[in-house]
A and B are shown apart, each in its own frame.
Chain A
Amino acid sequence: MFSYTFQWKQAFAKLPLMLDGALVTIELALLSMAIGIVLAVVLTGFRLSRIRPLVAIVTTWVEIARNTPALFQIYIAHFGVASFGLHLSPYVSLLIGITFNNAGYLAENFRGALKAIPDTQTRAARSLGMNPIQAFVHVVLPQMLRIAFLPMTNQMVWAILMTSLGVTVGMNFDLYGVTQDLNALTFRTFELFALAAVIFYVMTKIVQIGARLIAARLFRY
Protein backbone atom coordinates (compact mmCIF):
# COMPACT_ATOMS: atom_id res chain seq x y z
CA MET A 1 0.00 0.00 0.00
CA PHE A 2 2.88 2.35 0.64
CA SER A 3 4.59 2.05 -2.68
CA TYR A 4 5.82 5.60 -3.15
CA THR A 5 9.55 5.76 -3.77
CA PHE A 6 11.19 9.02 -2.76
CA GLN A 7 13.38 10.50 -5.43
CA TRP A 8 14.83 13.54 -3.76
CA LYS A 9 17.55 13.90 -6.33
CA GLN A 10 15.06 14.65 -9.04
CA ALA A 11 13.43 17.27 -6.89
CA PHE A 12 16.72 18.87 -5.90
CA ALA A 13 17.66 19.08 -9.55
CA LYS A 14 14.75 21.49 -9.92
CA LEU A 15 15.86 23.64 -7.01
CA PRO A 16 17.36 26.43 -9.17
CA LEU A 17 14.04 26.79 -11.02
CA MET A 18 12.17 26.90 -7.76
CA LEU A 19 14.54 29.48 -6.31
CA ASP A 20 13.97 31.64 -9.39
CA GLY A 21 10.27 31.30 -8.62
CA ALA A 22 10.94 32.25 -5.00
CA LEU A 23 12.46 35.52 -6.19
CA VAL A 24 9.22 36.32 -8.02
CA THR A 25 7.30 35.46 -4.87
CA ILE A 26 9.44 37.83 -2.83
CA GLU A 27 9.07 40.52 -5.46
CA LEU A 28 5.29 40.13 -5.40
CA ALA A 29 5.17 40.23 -1.61
CA LEU A 30 7.43 43.28 -1.37
CA LEU A 31 5.53 45.18 -4.08
CA SER A 32 2.18 44.33 -2.58
CA MET A 33 3.41 45.49 0.83
CA ALA A 34 4.91 48.72 -0.47
CA ILE A 35 1.77 49.66 -2.39
CA GLY A 36 -0.39 48.26 0.39
CA ILE A 37 1.26 50.49 3.01
CA VAL A 38 0.81 53.59 0.86
CA LEU A 39 -2.83 52.72 0.24
CA ALA A 40 -3.35 51.97 3.93
CA VAL A 41 -1.96 55.39 4.86
CA VAL A 42 -4.34 56.98 2.36
CA LEU A 43 -7.26 54.93 3.68
CA THR A 44 -6.36 55.92 7.24
CA GLY A 45 -6.34 59.55 6.11
CA PHE A 46 -9.78 59.04 4.53
CA ARG A 47 -11.05 57.60 7.77
CA LEU A 48 -9.68 60.48 9.83
CA SER A 49 -11.16 63.02 7.40
CA ARG A 50 -14.66 62.02 8.56
CA ILE A 51 -15.95 62.87 5.08
CA ARG A 52 -18.78 60.41 4.58
CA PRO A 53 -18.13 59.09 1.06
CA LEU A 54 -14.45 58.63 1.90
CA VAL A 55 -15.23 56.85 5.14
CA ALA A 56 -17.66 54.63 3.21
CA ILE A 57 -14.90 53.66 0.79
CA VAL A 58 -12.60 52.71 3.66
CA THR A 59 -15.27 50.76 5.48
CA THR A 60 -16.22 48.78 2.37
CA TRP A 61 -12.59 48.09 1.52
CA VAL A 62 -11.65 46.95 5.02
CA GLU A 63 -14.78 44.85 5.43
CA ILE A 64 -14.26 42.98 2.15
CA ALA A 65 -10.50 42.57 2.64
CA ARG A 66 -10.87 41.14 6.12
CA ASN A 67 -14.06 39.16 5.83
CA THR A 68 -13.82 37.37 2.51
CA PRO A 69 -11.29 34.72 1.41
CA ALA A 70 -8.10 36.10 -0.13
CA LEU A 71 -8.77 33.63 -2.94
CA PHE A 72 -12.04 35.41 -3.70
CA GLN A 73 -10.23 38.75 -3.82
CA ILE A 74 -7.69 37.39 -6.30
CA TYR A 75 -10.44 35.78 -8.39
CA ILE A 76 -12.28 39.07 -8.65
CA ALA A 77 -9.05 40.80 -9.66
CA HIS A 78 -8.70 38.27 -12.48
CA PHE A 79 -11.94 36.63 -13.63
CA GLY A 80 -14.20 39.25 -12.07
CA VAL A 81 -12.76 42.17 -13.98
CA ALA A 82 -12.42 39.99 -17.10
CA SER A 83 -16.22 39.79 -17.18
CA PHE A 84 -16.15 43.52 -17.82
CA GLY A 85 -13.65 43.12 -20.61
CA LEU A 86 -10.57 43.95 -18.57
CA HIS A 87 -8.08 41.14 -19.10
CA LEU A 88 -5.19 41.32 -16.68
CA SER A 89 -2.21 39.00 -16.62
CA PRO A 90 -2.09 36.51 -13.75
CA TYR A 91 0.87 38.41 -12.27
CA VAL A 92 -1.02 41.71 -12.21
CA SER A 93 -4.20 40.10 -10.92
CA LEU A 94 -2.33 38.38 -8.14
CA LEU A 95 -0.52 41.58 -7.23
CA ILE A 96 -3.80 43.51 -7.12
CA GLY A 97 -5.51 40.83 -5.06
CA ILE A 98 -2.76 40.65 -2.44
CA THR A 99 -2.31 44.40 -2.35
CA PHE A 100 -6.03 44.86 -1.78
CA ASN A 101 -5.88 42.43 1.09
CA ASN A 102 -2.75 44.02 2.58
CA ALA A 103 -4.16 47.52 2.40
CA GLY A 104 -7.36 46.47 4.15
CA TYR A 105 -5.61 44.78 7.03
CA LEU A 106 -2.92 47.47 7.37
CA ALA A 107 -5.48 50.30 7.35
CA GLU A 108 -7.11 48.65 10.33
CA ASN A 109 -3.73 48.22 12.04
CA PHE A 110 -2.84 51.85 11.48
CA ARG A 111 -6.16 52.98 12.85
CA GLY A 112 -5.62 50.97 16.00
CA ALA A 113 -2.07 52.28 16.33
CA LEU A 114 -3.21 55.90 15.95
CA LYS A 115 -5.88 55.41 18.57
CA ALA A 116 -3.21 54.25 21.01
CA ILE A 117 -1.39 57.59 20.75
CA PRO A 118 -2.97 60.20 23.01
CA ASP A 119 -4.13 63.50 21.45
CA THR A 120 -2.01 65.28 24.01
CA GLN A 121 1.08 64.28 22.04
CA THR A 122 -0.11 66.34 19.09
CA ARG A 123 -1.14 69.11 21.43
CA ALA A 124 2.31 69.21 23.01
CA ALA A 125 3.96 69.27 19.59
CA ARG A 126 1.67 72.03 18.34
CA SER A 127 2.25 74.12 21.44
CA LEU A 128 5.98 74.03 20.66
CA GLY A 129 5.20 75.77 17.39
CA MET A 130 5.14 72.74 15.09
CA ASN A 131 2.62 72.82 12.28
CA PRO A 132 0.20 69.90 11.90
CA ILE A 133 2.41 68.10 9.39
CA GLN A 134 5.55 68.45 11.53
CA ALA A 135 3.62 67.23 14.56
CA PHE A 136 2.41 64.20 12.63
CA VAL A 137 5.73 63.36 11.00
CA HIS A 138 8.02 63.86 13.99
CA VAL A 139 5.79 62.93 16.90
CA VAL A 140 2.81 60.79 15.87
CA LEU A 141 4.12 58.78 12.92
CA PRO A 142 7.20 57.28 14.61
CA GLN A 143 5.07 56.11 17.52
CA MET A 144 2.40 54.77 15.18
CA LEU A 145 4.93 52.78 13.17
CA ARG A 146 6.29 51.20 16.29
CA ILE A 147 2.87 50.04 17.37
CA ALA A 148 1.99 48.85 13.86
CA PHE A 149 5.37 47.26 13.19
CA LEU A 150 4.58 43.76 14.41
CA PRO A 151 1.24 43.57 12.58
CA MET A 152 3.06 44.81 9.46
CA THR A 153 5.56 41.98 9.80
CA ASN A 154 2.72 39.49 10.08
CA GLN A 155 1.10 40.94 6.99
CA MET A 156 4.36 40.57 5.06
CA VAL A 157 4.50 36.89 6.01
CA TRP A 158 0.87 36.54 5.01
CA ALA A 159 1.61 38.27 1.67
CA ILE A 160 4.36 35.74 0.90
CA LEU A 161 2.03 32.86 1.66
CA MET A 162 -0.86 34.39 -0.29
CA THR A 163 1.19 34.31 -3.51
CA SER A 164 0.50 30.56 -3.57
CA LEU A 165 -3.10 31.37 -4.47
CA GLY A 166 -1.87 32.72 -7.80
CA VAL A 167 -1.95 29.27 -9.40
CA THR A 168 -5.74 29.46 -9.43
CA VAL A 169 -5.60 32.37 -11.87
CA GLY A 170 -2.86 30.81 -13.98
CA MET A 171 0.21 32.27 -12.31
CA ASN A 172 3.08 29.93 -13.19
CA PHE A 173 6.39 31.60 -12.49
CA ASP A 174 6.27 32.29 -8.76
CA LEU A 175 7.45 29.63 -6.31
CA TYR A 176 4.10 27.88 -6.05
CA GLY A 177 3.35 28.15 -9.77
CA VAL A 178 6.76 26.76 -10.72
CA THR A 179 6.32 23.89 -8.27
CA GLN A 180 2.89 23.11 -9.64
CA ASP A 181 4.19 22.97 -13.21
CA LEU A 182 7.18 20.83 -12.24
CA ASN A 183 4.82 18.48 -10.47
CA ALA A 184 2.76 18.10 -13.62
CA LEU A 185 5.92 17.26 -15.54
CA THR A 186 7.62 14.89 -13.09
CA PHE A 187 4.97 13.65 -10.64
CA ARG A 188 7.49 14.02 -7.79
CA THR A 189 4.61 15.53 -5.86
CA PHE A 190 5.71 15.00 -2.28
CA GLU A 191 9.35 15.92 -2.82
CA LEU A 192 8.62 19.05 -4.82
CA PHE A 193 5.97 20.41 -2.51
CA ALA A 194 8.00 19.54 0.57
CA LEU A 195 10.87 21.47 -0.93
CA ALA A 196 8.57 24.40 -1.75
CA ALA A 197 7.25 24.37 1.82
CA VAL A 198 10.79 24.54 3.18
CA ILE A 199 11.56 27.49 0.91
CA PHE A 200 8.37 29.26 2.05
CA TYR A 201 9.33 28.56 5.66
CA VAL A 202 12.82 29.95 5.21
CA MET A 203 11.50 33.07 3.50
CA THR A 204 8.97 33.86 6.21
CA LYS A 205 11.52 33.09 8.92
CA ILE A 206 13.95 35.54 7.35
CA VAL A 207 11.23 38.18 7.33
CA GLN A 208 10.50 37.59 11.01
CA ILE A 209 14.12 37.58 12.13
CA GLY A 210 14.92 40.56 9.93
CA ALA A 211 11.97 42.45 11.37
CA ARG A 212 13.14 41.71 14.89
CA LEU A 213 16.60 43.04 14.11
CA ILE A 214 15.22 46.17 12.51
CA ALA A 215 12.85 46.70 15.44
CA ALA A 216 15.70 46.37 17.93
CA ARG A 217 17.62 49.06 16.08
CA LEU A 218 14.71 51.41 15.47
CA PHE A 219 12.77 51.17 18.70
CA ARG A 220 15.10 51.57 21.61
CA TYR A 221 12.62 53.08 23.99
Chain B
Amino acid sequence: MIEIENVRKSFGPLEVLKGINLTVPKGEVLTIIGGSGSGKSTLLTCINGLEPIDSGRITVDGTEVHARGTDLNKLRRKLGIVFQQWNAFPHLTVLENVMLAPRKVLGLGKAEAEAIAVKQLTHVGLGEKLNVYPTRLSGGQQQRMAIARALAMSPDYMLFDEVTSALDPQLVGEVLDTLRMLASEGMTMICVTHEMKFAREVSDRVAFFSKGVMAEIGAPQQIFENPQHPETAAFVKLTQA
Protein backbone atom coordinates (compact mmCIF):
# COMPACT_ATOMS: atom_id res chain seq x y z
CA MET B 1 0.00 0.00 0.00
CA ILE B 2 1.21 3.47 -0.84
CA GLU B 3 0.07 6.16 1.58
CA ILE B 4 0.52 9.81 0.83
CA GLU B 5 -0.27 12.16 3.67
CA ASN B 6 -0.45 15.89 3.34
CA VAL B 7 2.58 16.11 1.05
CA ARG B 8 3.88 19.52 0.13
CA LYS B 9 6.66 20.25 -2.28
CA SER B 10 8.03 23.46 -3.78
CA PHE B 11 10.54 24.20 -6.49
CA GLY B 12 11.89 27.54 -5.32
CA PRO B 13 8.96 29.90 -4.85
CA LEU B 14 6.63 27.64 -6.83
CA GLU B 15 4.59 25.25 -4.74
CA VAL B 16 3.81 22.27 -6.98
CA LEU B 17 2.19 19.98 -4.41
CA LYS B 18 -0.10 21.67 -1.93
CA GLY B 19 -0.97 19.02 0.58
CA ILE B 20 -1.75 15.80 -1.27
CA ASN B 21 -3.57 12.97 0.51
CA LEU B 22 -3.93 9.71 -1.33
CA THR B 23 -3.88 6.02 -0.54
CA VAL B 24 -3.27 3.39 -3.17
CA PRO B 25 -4.00 -0.16 -2.03
CA LYS B 26 -2.30 -3.22 -3.52
CA GLY B 27 -3.80 -4.27 -6.82
CA GLU B 28 -5.29 -0.94 -7.70
CA VAL B 29 -4.83 0.82 -11.01
CA LEU B 30 -4.93 4.53 -10.39
CA THR B 31 -4.55 7.07 -13.12
CA ILE B 32 -3.78 10.70 -12.50
CA ILE B 33 -4.97 13.24 -15.02
CA GLY B 34 -4.69 17.01 -15.12
CA GLY B 35 -3.09 19.86 -16.99
CA SER B 36 0.64 20.33 -17.23
CA GLY B 37 2.16 21.87 -14.14
CA SER B 38 -0.52 20.37 -11.94
CA GLY B 39 2.08 18.42 -9.95
CA LYS B 40 1.16 14.91 -11.07
CA SER B 41 4.60 13.91 -12.40
CA THR B 42 6.33 15.44 -9.39
CA LEU B 43 4.22 13.29 -7.12
CA LEU B 44 5.50 10.13 -8.83
CA THR B 45 9.15 11.09 -8.43
CA CYS B 46 8.44 11.90 -4.78
CA ILE B 47 6.94 8.45 -4.24
CA ASN B 48 10.19 6.71 -5.21
CA GLY B 49 12.33 9.30 -3.47
CA LEU B 50 13.97 10.78 -6.55
CA GLU B 51 12.63 14.11 -5.31
CA PRO B 52 12.61 15.17 -1.66
CA ILE B 53 9.42 16.57 -0.15
CA ASP B 54 9.05 19.64 2.05
CA SER B 55 6.52 18.27 4.48
CA GLY B 56 4.07 15.45 4.92
CA ARG B 57 4.74 11.77 4.62
CA ILE B 58 4.84 9.05 1.98
CA THR B 59 4.96 5.44 3.11
CA VAL B 60 5.28 2.35 0.95
CA ASP B 61 4.27 -0.85 2.72
CA GLY B 62 4.95 0.89 6.00
CA THR B 63 8.38 2.24 5.06
CA GLU B 64 8.57 5.99 5.14
CA VAL B 65 10.22 7.07 1.88
CA HIS B 66 11.72 10.36 3.02
CA ALA B 67 12.64 9.36 6.56
CA ARG B 68 16.27 9.50 7.54
CA GLY B 69 17.89 6.12 7.36
CA THR B 70 15.48 4.71 4.78
CA ASP B 71 17.46 2.66 2.26
CA LEU B 72 16.11 4.22 -0.90
CA ASN B 73 18.04 1.87 -3.15
CA LYS B 74 16.32 -1.04 -1.47
CA LEU B 75 12.93 0.64 -1.50
CA ARG B 76 13.20 1.39 -5.22
CA ARG B 77 13.37 -2.32 -5.97
CA LYS B 78 9.66 -2.49 -5.16
CA LEU B 79 8.82 0.66 -7.07
CA GLY B 80 9.32 0.40 -10.79
CA ILE B 81 9.14 3.71 -12.62
CA VAL B 82 9.00 4.45 -16.31
CA PHE B 83 9.45 7.97 -17.59
CA GLN B 84 8.18 9.96 -20.50
CA GLN B 85 11.69 9.78 -21.94
CA TRP B 86 12.50 6.08 -21.87
CA ASN B 87 16.21 6.56 -21.04
CA ALA B 88 17.52 3.41 -22.65
CA PHE B 89 21.18 2.82 -21.79
CA PRO B 90 22.64 3.26 -25.28
CA HIS B 91 25.85 1.34 -24.65
CA LEU B 92 24.03 -1.88 -23.73
CA THR B 93 21.95 -4.21 -25.85
CA VAL B 94 18.26 -4.57 -25.12
CA LEU B 95 18.96 -7.74 -23.16
CA GLU B 96 21.83 -6.13 -21.22
CA ASN B 97 19.69 -3.08 -20.45
CA VAL B 98 17.18 -5.31 -18.71
CA MET B 99 19.80 -7.56 -17.07
CA LEU B 100 21.89 -4.76 -15.56
CA ALA B 101 19.87 -3.96 -12.44
CA PRO B 102 18.99 -7.58 -11.56
CA ARG B 103 22.70 -8.38 -11.74
CA LYS B 104 24.15 -5.36 -9.98
CA VAL B 105 21.37 -4.49 -7.57
CA LEU B 106 19.87 -7.88 -6.79
CA GLY B 107 23.20 -9.66 -7.24
CA LEU B 108 21.77 -12.38 -9.46
CA GLY B 109 24.02 -14.59 -11.55
CA LYS B 110 24.27 -14.08 -15.28
CA ALA B 111 22.09 -17.03 -16.27
CA GLU B 112 19.37 -16.15 -13.80
CA ALA B 113 19.32 -12.47 -14.74
CA GLU B 114 19.25 -13.40 -18.40
CA ALA B 115 16.31 -15.76 -17.90
CA ILE B 116 14.37 -12.99 -16.15
CA ALA B 117 15.26 -10.44 -18.83
CA VAL B 118 14.27 -12.75 -21.67
CA LYS B 119 10.98 -13.49 -19.95
CA GLN B 120 10.13 -9.82 -19.41
CA LEU B 121 11.22 -8.77 -22.88
CA THR B 122 9.17 -11.53 -24.44
CA HIS B 123 6.27 -10.43 -22.26
CA VAL B 124 6.34 -6.92 -23.72
CA GLY B 125 6.80 -8.27 -27.24
CA LEU B 126 10.52 -7.68 -27.71
CA GLY B 127 11.62 -11.30 -27.72
CA GLU B 128 13.04 -10.86 -31.20
CA LYS B 129 15.13 -7.82 -30.31
CA LEU B 130 17.28 -9.15 -27.49
CA ASN B 131 20.69 -8.50 -28.97
CA VAL B 132 19.93 -5.24 -30.70
CA TYR B 133 21.17 -1.88 -29.41
CA PRO B 134 18.37 0.47 -28.33
CA THR B 135 19.15 3.06 -30.98
CA ARG B 136 17.87 0.53 -33.50
CA LEU B 137 14.46 0.45 -31.87
CA SER B 138 11.47 2.70 -32.43
CA GLY B 139 10.33 4.95 -29.59
CA GLY B 140 7.50 2.57 -28.76
CA GLN B 141 9.87 -0.39 -28.62
CA GLN B 142 12.33 1.54 -26.45
CA GLN B 143 9.51 2.46 -24.11
CA ARG B 144 8.42 -1.17 -23.88
CA MET B 145 12.02 -2.09 -23.16
CA ALA B 146 12.04 0.45 -20.34
CA ILE B 147 8.90 -1.20 -18.96
CA ALA B 148 10.55 -4.64 -19.15
CA ARG B 149 13.64 -3.19 -17.44
CA ALA B 150 11.53 -1.99 -14.54
CA LEU B 151 9.56 -5.25 -14.39
CA ALA B 152 12.75 -7.30 -14.25
CA MET B 153 13.24 -6.11 -10.68
CA SER B 154 9.88 -7.75 -9.87
CA PRO B 155 8.48 -4.58 -8.34
CA ASP B 156 5.29 -4.56 -6.30
CA TYR B 157 4.26 -1.22 -7.72
CA MET B 158 4.70 0.39 -11.11
CA LEU B 159 4.71 4.15 -11.62
CA PHE B 160 4.19 5.40 -15.16
CA ASP B 161 4.99 9.02 -15.84
CA GLU B 162 3.34 10.06 -19.10
CA VAL B 163 4.92 7.13 -20.84
CA THR B 164 3.24 7.82 -24.16
CA SER B 165 3.65 11.59 -24.29
CA ALA B 166 6.93 11.58 -26.21
CA LEU B 167 5.84 8.96 -28.72
CA ASP B 168 4.69 9.36 -32.28
CA PRO B 169 0.91 8.91 -32.35
CA GLN B 170 1.06 5.59 -34.21
CA LEU B 171 3.31 4.11 -31.49
CA VAL B 172 1.11 5.05 -28.54
CA GLY B 173 -1.16 2.03 -28.95
CA GLU B 174 1.51 -0.63 -28.46
CA VAL B 175 2.68 0.93 -25.20
CA LEU B 176 -0.85 1.38 -23.87
CA ASP B 177 -1.55 -2.26 -24.75
CA THR B 178 1.42 -3.23 -22.60
CA LEU B 179 0.04 -1.20 -19.71
CA ARG B 180 -3.41 -2.77 -20.17
CA MET B 181 -1.81 -6.19 -20.06
CA LEU B 182 -0.05 -5.36 -16.78
CA ALA B 183 -3.25 -3.97 -15.31
CA SER B 184 -5.14 -7.13 -16.24
CA GLU B 185 -2.43 -9.18 -14.52
CA GLY B 186 -3.15 -7.40 -11.27
CA MET B 187 -0.09 -5.11 -11.06
CA THR B 188 -0.54 -2.14 -8.75
CA MET B 189 -0.08 0.88 -10.96
CA ILE B 190 -0.11 4.63 -10.76
CA CYS B 191 -0.25 6.11 -14.24
CA VAL B 192 0.10 9.78 -14.92
CA THR B 193 -1.39 10.14 -18.35
CA HIS B 194 -3.02 12.34 -20.94
CA GLU B 195 -4.70 9.35 -22.58
CA MET B 196 -8.28 9.81 -21.41
CA LYS B 197 -9.71 6.80 -23.16
CA PHE B 198 -7.06 4.62 -21.57
CA ALA B 199 -7.68 6.14 -18.15
CA ARG B 200 -11.35 5.46 -18.48
CA GLU B 201 -10.89 1.84 -19.52
CA VAL B 202 -8.25 0.50 -17.18
CA SER B 203 -8.50 2.55 -14.01
CA ASP B 204 -10.08 1.48 -10.78
CA ARG B 205 -9.93 5.12 -9.78
CA VAL B 206 -9.03 8.33 -11.54
CA ALA B 207 -7.56 11.34 -9.75
CA PHE B 208 -7.78 14.81 -11.20
CA PHE B 209 -4.98 17.18 -10.26
CA SER B 210 -5.13 20.91 -10.68
CA LYS B 211 -2.51 23.46 -9.57
CA GLY B 212 -0.90 21.20 -7.01
CA VAL B 213 -4.15 20.01 -5.48
CA MET B 214 -6.01 16.77 -5.98
CA ALA B 215 -9.31 18.32 -6.90
CA GLU B 216 -11.25 15.11 -7.28
CA ILE B 217 -10.83 11.37 -7.13
CA GLY B 218 -13.30 8.67 -7.96
CA ALA B 219 -14.36 5.86 -10.24
CA PRO B 220 -13.84 6.54 -13.95
CA GLN B 221 -17.58 6.86 -14.48
CA GLN B 222 -17.74 9.60 -11.90
CA ILE B 223 -14.79 11.56 -13.26
CA PHE B 224 -15.70 11.29 -16.90
CA GLU B 225 -19.51 11.26 -16.76
CA ASN B 226 -20.51 12.94 -13.56
CA PRO B 227 -17.61 15.07 -12.29
CA GLN B 228 -18.28 16.68 -8.94
CA HIS B 229 -15.74 19.47 -9.17
CA PRO B 230 -16.24 22.26 -11.71
CA GLU B 231 -12.56 22.14 -12.72
CA THR B 232 -12.77 18.42 -13.40
CA ALA B 233 -15.84 19.02 -15.49
CA ALA B 234 -14.08 21.73 -17.47
CA PHE B 235 -10.96 19.60 -17.99
CA VAL B 236 -12.90 16.54 -19.05
CA LYS B 237 -15.04 18.55 -21.42
CA LEU B 238 -11.95 20.13 -22.94
CA THR B 239 -10.12 16.85 -23.48
CA GLN B 240 -13.15 15.21 -25.00
CA ALA B 241 -13.91 18.03 -27.38
B221 at the interface (CB under 8 A from A): no
A120 touches B83 (CB 8 A): yes
How far apart sit A89 and B90, CA to CA, in the bound complex (Å)?
47
Whether, in the assembled complex, A112 has its beta carbon less than 8 Å from a beta carbon of chain B, the answer is: no
Q: Knowing A128-B101, A138-B104 are in contact, say whether A121-B77 is a contact too (CB < 8 A).
A: no
Q: Which residues of B contact A221 (CB under 8 A)?
A: 90-92, 133-135
- Chain B: minimal CB distance from A19 (Å): 39
Please classify the interface of chain A as helix (H, G, I), strand (E, B), loop, or mixed, using the class held by over half of its residues. Answer: helix
Q: Mark B107-146, 1 if CB is under 8 A from A, else 0.
A: 0000000000000000000000000011100000000001
Q: Complex: how many Å from CA A126 to CA B150?
A: 12
Q: Which residues of B contact A127 (CB under 8 A)?
A: 48, 50, 76, 79, 81
Say if the beta carbon of A220 comes within 8 Å of chain B. yes
A131 at the interface (CB under 8 A from B): yes
> Per a CB cutoff under 8 Å, which of A120, A129, A131, A146 touches B91?
A146
Which residue from chain B places its CB closest to the CB of A134 in the assembled complex? B104
CB of B10 closer than 8 Å to a CB of A: no
Cβ of A205 under 8 Å from chain B:
no
Q: How far is the CA of A124 from the CA of B105 in the complex (A)?
A: 13
Q: Is the CB of A131 within 8 A of B73?
A: yes
Q: Which residues of A contact B74 (CB under 8 A)?
A: 129
Question: Which residues of B are found within 8 Å of A219, using beta-carbon distances?
Answer: 91
- Is B38 engaged at the interface, CB distance under 8 Å to the other chain? no
User: How many A residues touch the partner, as a band?
Assistant: 20 to 34
- Per-position binary interface string of chain A over residues 39-77, scored 1 when its CB falls under 8 Å from any chain B CB and 0 otherwise: 000000000000000000000000000000000000000
Contacts of B146 in A (CB 8 A): 124
Interface residue from A118, A120, A123, A129 paired with B105 (Cβ < 8 Å): A129
Task: Decide if A121 touches B76 in the complex (CB within 8 Å).
Answer: no
Q: How far is the CB of A191 from chain B (nearest CB, A)?
A: 48
Residues of A within 8 A of B100 (CB): 128, 138-139
Please give the distance in Å from A130's CB to the nearest CB on chain B: 6
A142: interface (CB < 8 Å) = yes
Interface residues of B in 64-108 (CB under 8 A from A): 73-74, 76-77, 79, 81, 83, 85, 87, 89-92, 100-101, 104-105
CA gap between A128 and B89 in the complex, in Å = 12
Q: Report the Cα distance A74→B87, complex, angstroms.
A: 45
A143 at interface, CB cutoff 8 A: yes
Give bound CA distance, A203 to B205, whole Å.
69
Q: How far is the CA of A125 from the CA of B90 in the complex (A)?
A: 12
Most chain A Cβ neighbours within 10 Å, of B50, B87, B91, B101: B91
| Interface assignment of B9: CB less than 8 Å from any CB of chain A | no
Most chain-A CB neighbours within 10 Å: which of B50, B89, B100? B89
Residues of B within 8 A of A143 (CB): 90-91
A130 B87 Cβ-Cβ under 8 A:
no
Given contacts A143-B90, A220-B133, A221-B133, contact A130 B73 (CB under 8 A): yes
Is A121 within 8 A of B50, CB to CB? Answer: no
Query: How distant is the Cα of A134 from the Cα of B73 in the complex, in angstroms?
Result: 11
Q: Which residues of A contact B105 (CB under 8 A)?
A: 128-130, 134
A residues lining the B interface (CB < 8 Å): 118, 120-121, 123-131, 134, 138-139, 142-143, 146, 219-221
Task: Name B residues whose Cβ lies closer than 8 Å to a Cβ of A.
Answer: 48, 50, 73-74, 76-77, 79, 81, 83, 85, 87, 89-92, 100-101, 104-105, 133-135, 146, 149-150, 153
Can you list 17 A-B contacts (CB < 8 A)?
Answer: A120-B85, A123-B50, A124-B87, A127-B48, A127-B76, A128-B76, A128-B150, A129-B76, A129-B77, A129-B153, A130-B101, A130-B104, A131-B73, A134-B104, A134-B105, A221-B133, A221-B134
Known: A127-B79, A129-B153, A221-B133. 12 other contacts (CB 8 A): A124-B87, A125-B101, A127-B48, A128-B76, A129-B74, A129-B101, A130-B105, A138-B100, A142-B91, A143-B90, A221-B90, A221-B134
**Nearest 9 A/B pairs, CB to CB:** A124-B87, A128-B101, A221-B133, A129-B105, A129-B76, A129-B77, A127-B81, A142-B91, A120-B87
